[in-house]
Amino acid sequence: MIKPLEGTIEEQLLKLELAALDQWNNGDPSGYLDLSADDVVYFDPFLEQRLTGKTALTAYYEALRGTIKVDRNEFINPLVQVSGNMAVLTFNLNAYVREAVYRWNCTEVYRQEETGWKIIQTHWSFVKP
Amino acid sequence: MIKPLEGTIEEQLLKLELAALDQWNNGDPSGYLDLSADDVVYFDPFLEQRLTGKTALTAYYEALRGTIKVDRNEFINPLVQVSGNMAVLTFNLNAYVREAVYRWNCTEVYRQEETGWKIIQTHWSFVKP
């Protein structure tokens, strides 16, 4: 049974994303791993090609555990497009690490499952690398 | 009425994507514009932030019309995730322009509408920029 969530789908997804991001910013990938579906696919600027499946993503994230510390984020202009049991969350993000700022584009595709909203696609890229 | 398309959803989407890409490679953005929904959102590495809506995407693409010539593509490892009326197409792409090769990550989110499959989200980024 799906546990009812409060708020609009947009509010639900932003809450999930920001909670996972907060953990990530403190070196803990568990939030994103818990949110990701078994068939998740993943892009970021450090990979040679797409990662395919949660086993691959878990290995990648676990190797990063404890290595990341983001001091502060600006979460910019989030938008959610919903259709059926899928929702696309897009946003820009400025991540401040000491004196540096990293400017990101991000696309998350969520699918509603029995256990709640799960990410099936993540794409992080740099703004004007 | 939705015109029946031949083949699996994966085959349909790859055919649409590759046809639009072939036009793009010859300087014509019309294929991608025809495929894009009114609420499309778009990221690429040359933009300061997400483009939101087909009007913005049209202005951006039309300014590029006639300026792009890709000699050859390698379309790598495409995958389609379908749920309800939405489908996520992800792939890597090597684009050869004279002696140079540009290596891309790409995510396209398609939604099935009365007029066929339409893109509601495009995200292009460079591999290891």
Q: What would the pLDDT profile of B41-76 be if each residue is shown by its tens digit?
A: 999 999 999 999 999 999 999 999 999 999 999 999
Question: B-chain residues within 8 Å CB-CB of A84?
Answer: 83-86
Q: Is the pLDDT of residue B5 over 80?
A: no
Q: Strands A51-52 and A36-43, how do they pair?
A: antiparallel
Q: Is the pLDDT of residue B1 over 60?
A: no
CA distance B116 to chain A (A): 15
Place of tokens 């292009």: B124
Q: What is the pLDDT of residues A56-95, one digit of tens each?
A: 999 999 999 999 999 999 999 999 999 999 999 999 999 9
Q: What is the pLDDT of residues A19-28, one digit of tens each?
A: 999 999 999 9
What is the Cα–Cα distance from B70 to A2, expressed in whole angstroms?
Answer: 48
Q: In chain B, whose CA is at the least distance from the CA of A94?
A: B49
> Residue range A116-129: average pLDDT?
97
Task: Pick B107's closest partner by Cβ from A111, A123, A128.
Answer: A123
| Interface contact B50-A126, CB threshold 8 A | no
User: What is the identity of the amino acid at A113?
Assistant: E
What is the Cα–Cα distance from A106 to A118, expressed in whole angstroms?
Answer: 16
Phi-psi region of B17 (alpha: psi -120 to 50; beta: other; left: phi over 0): alpha
Task: Pick A86's closest partner by Cβ from B79, B84, B90.
Answer: B84
CA distance B67 to chain A (A): 19
| Interface contact A47-B127, CB threshold 8 A | yes
The whole-number pLDDT of residue A6 equals 77
Q: Is B99 strand, coil or helix?
A: coil
Q: What is the pLDDT of residues A29-57, one digit of tens each?
A: 999 999 999 999 999 999 999 999 999 99
Q: Global pTM?
A: 0.96
DSSP of A27-93: T-THHHHHHEEEEEEEE-TTSSS-EESHHHHHHHHHHHTT-----EEEEEEEEEEEETTEEEEEEEE
> Residue range B67-89: average pLDDT?
97
What is the Cα–Cα distance from B95 to B103, expressed in whole angstroms?
Answer: 6
Give the pLDDT band of residue A5 (cuts 50, 70, 90). low
Residue ranges of chain B whose CB lies within 8 Å of a chain A CB? 39, 41, 43, 45-50, 52, 76-77, 79, 81, 83-86, 88, 90-92, 105, 107, 109, 111, 120-121, 123, 125-129
